[in-house]
């Protein structure tokens, strides 16, 4: 089983072309078939690792400028991501179209596959998107620093705030809740195809 990610830029007609930025952002990831532009403002890749898929979902939900479609299932690989075929490609197309049809109040992510776990993964991804999308810049500042390896004391000193304030930013930003959901999302993605 593999995953086909199809990403479509939100508001591409009114904003600039974000495809070069997204290709560069993920050029260090391990893909089965690398992320590439497929048409206009759409990009696609093939991945075989649920944790990699989750990492990209989480990052793109924070970015907020992409419709995210994930298809799980069998893949017939071509030389490039866009030259493959199979059920995962059909699921990815259905997923990205479903993501594009969502209201602006729902995180733009959809997951399709042959099993119920795909819809469960989708629900969890949207919940994570709601958490991620509600964070303030101060909360992100603390969470990013903690994820980069800084201690709460180091962050407090650098930002001239108390250690308790760092903890509050982390807590109100639901960092622990988000990260506790990652293994479940990985498992659901793995069962989706």
State residue 103's pLDDT score.
82
Predicted pLDDT at 30: 92
Q: What is the DSSP string of 52-70?
A: HHHHHHHHHHHH--EEEEE
The mean of the pLDDT values for the chain is 95
17-59 confidence digits (pLDDT tens) = 899 999 999 999 999 999 999 988 999 999 999 999 999 999 9
In this structure, the strands spanning 109-112 and 66-73 are: parallel
User: Virtual CA dihedral for 9, 118, 170, 156, nearest 10 degrees?
Assistant: -60
Q: Tell me the whole-structure pTM to 2 decimals.
A: 0.93
DSSP secondary structure letters along 6-25: EEEETTTTTS---HHHHHHH
Please state the domain extents for the chain: 2-115, 137-172
What's the pLDDT score for residue 129?
97
Q: Please tell me the distance from the alpha carbon of residue 98 to that of residue 162, in angstroms, as a whole number.
A: 44
pLDDT tens for residues 65-122? 999 999 999 999 999 999 999 999 999 999 999 999 998 889 999 999 999 999 999 9
What is the C-alpha to C-alpha distance for residues 39 and 43, in angstroms, rounded to an integer?
A: 7
Instruction: Compute the distance between CA of residue 45 and CA of residue 60 in angstroms, rounded to an integer.
Output: 14
> What spatial distance separates the first Cα and last Cα of the chain, rounded to whole Å?
6
Pinpoint the alpha helices (H) of 12-162. Answer: 19-25, 50-63, 87-100, 117-133, 137-147, 152-159
Architecture category of domain 2-115 in CATH = 2-Layer Sandwich (3.30)
Cβ atoms of residues 66 and 51 within 8 Å:
no
């Amino acid at each position: 089983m593999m995953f086909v990610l199809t990403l479509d830029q939100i508001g591409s007609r009114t904003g600039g072309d974000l495809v070069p930025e997204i290709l560069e952002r993920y050029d260090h990831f391990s893909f089965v078939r690398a992320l590439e532009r497929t048409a206009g403002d759409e990009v696609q890749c093939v991945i075989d690792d649920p944790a990699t898929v989750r990492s990209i979902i989480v990052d793109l939900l924070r970015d907020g400028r992409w419709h995210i479609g994930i298809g799980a299932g069998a893949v017939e690989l071509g030389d490039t991501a866009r030259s493959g075929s199979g059920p995962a490609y059909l699921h990815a197309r259905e997923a990205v179209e479903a993501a594009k049809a969502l209201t602006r109040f729902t995180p733009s992510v959809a997951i399709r596959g042959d099993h119920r776990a795909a819809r469960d993964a989708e629900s969890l991804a949207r919940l994570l998107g709601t958490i991620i999308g509600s964070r303030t810049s101060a909360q992100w500042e603390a969470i990013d620093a903690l994820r980069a390896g800084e201690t709460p004391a180091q962050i407090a000193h650098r930002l001239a705030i108390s250690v308790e304030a760092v903890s509050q930013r982390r807590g109100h930003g639901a960092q622990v809740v988000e990260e506790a959901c990652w293994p479940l999302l990985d498992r659901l993605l793995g069962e989706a195809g």
